[in-house]
């Protein structure tokens, strides 16, 4: 009987000690784990924000970048890449940046720069038309010529309208002369690229620039 009571007392004491130890250590363990969880949440939050920012910037970049290749089915976007890395645009960008930071900068010089590349893109356009002439049938080329004449008429009349309506009376100020030539350069470049896509399809997916 004494042994039984003694054994029960021993078990009670051990159980109480175990509970006391458990209660003493559990808050410490919890306290130790809390900063870790908080830090992890902060890292995840920062990572999420960084990924969102990166995605938004990527989307903005994609939206701002023109795509070239209205009829292309090439999964590698070869034509698009060739246009984005063409030698004429690279030369223009280099010369434009140097001119903008030059002590010789002037409105007249800017007009001359835009006019220079307008002529160079016009050369590319005429060359592309010749490439197409050698690849298309007579009836196909006749249709293309009609389309090209329509574009040339539009381009000329657009330039005349701006000249007569705005530039003649200095409506846009001195910057107007730059904008007019720049707009014509942009139209000519876009039309040339459109023709280049046709030539690209008929020339075994090869793109040829006169300017090197």
Query: What residue segments make up the domains of the chain, in order of their start?
Result: 1-65, 68-202
Q: Tell me: the pLDDT tens digits for 126-182? A: 999 999 999 999 999 999 999 999 999 999 999 999 999 999 888 788 899 999 999
pLDDT at 61 over 70: no
The conformation of residue 209, written as its DSSP 8-state character, comes to: -
* SS3 category, 203: coil
Q: Are 193 and 70 in contact (CB under 8 A)?
A: no
The contacts of residue 211 (CB under 8 Å, 6+ apart) are 87, 88, 91, 120, 123, 124
Q: Tell me: the pLDDT tens digits for 83-116? A: 999 999 999 999 999 999 999 999 999 999 999 9
pLDDT at 20 over 50: no
* Residue 3: predicted pLDDT: 41
């Amino acid at each position: 009987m004494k042994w039984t009571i003694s054994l029960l007392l021993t078990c009670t004491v051990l159980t109480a000690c175990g509970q006391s130890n458990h209660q003493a250590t559990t808050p410490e363990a919890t306290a130790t784990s809390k900063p870790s969880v908080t830090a992890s949440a902060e890292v995840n939050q920062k990572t999420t924000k960084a990924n969102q920012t990166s995605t938004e910037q990527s989307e903005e970049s994609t939206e701002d970048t023109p795509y070239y290749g209205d009829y292309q089915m090439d999964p590698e976007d070869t034509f698009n890449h060739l246009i984005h890395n063409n030698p004429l645009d690279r030369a223009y960008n280099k010369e434009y940046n140097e001119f903008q930071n030059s002590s010789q900068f002037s409105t007249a010089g800017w007009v001359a720069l835009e006019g220079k590349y307008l002529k160079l893109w016009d050369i590319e356009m005429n060359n592309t038309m010749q490439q197409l002439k050698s690849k298309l049938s007579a009836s196909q080329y006749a249709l293309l010529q009609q389309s090209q004449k329509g574009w040339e008429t539009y381009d000329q009349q657009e330039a005349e309208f701006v000249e007569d309506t705005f530039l003649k009376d200095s409506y846009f100020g001195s910057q107007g002369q730059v904008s007019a030539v720049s707009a014509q350069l942009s139209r000519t470049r876009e039309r040339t690229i459109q023709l280049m896509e046709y030539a690209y399809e008929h020339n075994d997916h090869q793109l040829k620039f006169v300017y090197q």
